[in-house]
Amino acid sequence: MNGIHTNILKPDNSLIRLEAPTDMGLSLMELLKANDFDILATCGGMALCATCHIEVVSGFEKLPAISDAEYAMLDTLPNIKDGSRLACQLRLSDAMDNITIKILGDGN
């Protein structure tokens, strides 16, 4: 199994480190849901609800470019950050090893 590590920054600033496979086509949203993080994913990963809104705290430069659809959804949020992305739009890849994220949800 090919794998990477993803760091999740909790509200108390502690880190949880997850190991994730990169050979299964999973999205970051699917990884977070599988590890019982509070991600609603109401739209099922179609970039239509922003309930998987995350802030990439470190490693943003490792991510693929943002699509127009993802940007349009993020642009509707009250808590958008410079490092905002939708976890459903990020397929796990070797390039994403050791990124650090914070879960923001839909801003409500």
Does domain 3-103 fall under CATH 3.10.20.30? My reply is yes
Location of structure tokens 């050979």: 23
State the pTM of this model: 0.92
pLDDT per position as a tens digit, 48-78? 999 999 999 999 999 999 999 999 999 999 9
Grade residue 9 by pLDDT with cuts at 50, 70 and 90: very high
Grade residue 96 by pLDDT with cuts at 50, 70 and 90: very high
What is the overall mean pLDDT for the chain? 93
